[in-house]
Structure 1
């Protein structure tokens, strides 16, 4: 029999228990069609990249299926009818993975907590230490930067143009005489 990986998304206002009931229901549909679900995973409530049917979040569920195509087609038909399922995807694969999926391993890693990095959230120091142009706290602004005279040297004159004379440095507080 062909092998499939199937993921579906349930609405955000559905409870986890209802999602697990949906998973059992769809597993029953596959088993009615002489197939079997070899692995089930509930990945949790996650943010969506964009709104789907007015939902910003969705419950993710995953199946590994070993079933004839007719059983998978029937399961997909019933998912399309069910108003709690907002999206689904079935992919035919050559072999099924037996270990936990990447999403489940990611959840395990998240539960381990802080690994001792700084308070930046992604490792490294907190981001309040940024100097330089464009920082929110402190840093420099365009007017407070030193002149760029030493960067590249003077520009060569163009054809028919007199050589350039460097300008004197700008007064730090223009308009405040005295």
Structure 2
């Protein structure tokens, strides 16, 4: 099955538990349609570059999945209909990277940027 990475932003006025329950809800949607979530990460509340629906901040979440295309389309459809989800991004990847995403790594662990002068 194809591999996907999903990032979504939920409204800032949700609690952390509610935002994490959204991750679980969309994971079960994928599982019900024949896919599976390999890993999920809750990135927390972050400030956005511009306002979305009068919100300056949002709860960010990240999912790595192995699912057929119809399962991903159904999950995206339900995300777009959900009132608490503001933005959705899904990317098809050839393979998942090992370890945590770049957002969850410490600055020292990244190491792929050059030194400033």
TM-score by length of structure 2 reads 0.89
Deviations along 1:15-37, one digit per CA (max 9) or x if unpaired, are 11001110000000000111100
1:1-178 paired onto structure 2 within 5 Å:
1-106=1-106, 109=107
Runs of 4+ in 1 over 3 A off after TM superposition: none
- Structure with bigger helix share is 2
Bigger Rg over Cα: 1
3-state SS of 1:98 partner: coil
3-state SS of 1:77 partner: helix
Could you tell me which residue of structure 2 aligns to residue 147 of structure 1? Answer: none
3-state SS of 1:63 partner: strand
- Structure with bigger strand share is 2
CA distance in 1, matches of 2:27, 2:58: 20
CA offset at residue 98 of structure 1?
Answer: 2.4
TM-score by length of structure 1 reads 0.59
Could you tell me which residue of structure 1 aligns to residue 113 of structure 2? Answer: none
Q: Relative contact order (C-alpha < 8 Å, sep 6+): which is higher?
A: 2
3-state SS of 2:105 partner: helix
Aligned length: 108
Q: Which ranges of structure 1 fall in alignment gaps of 5 or more residues?
A: 111-178
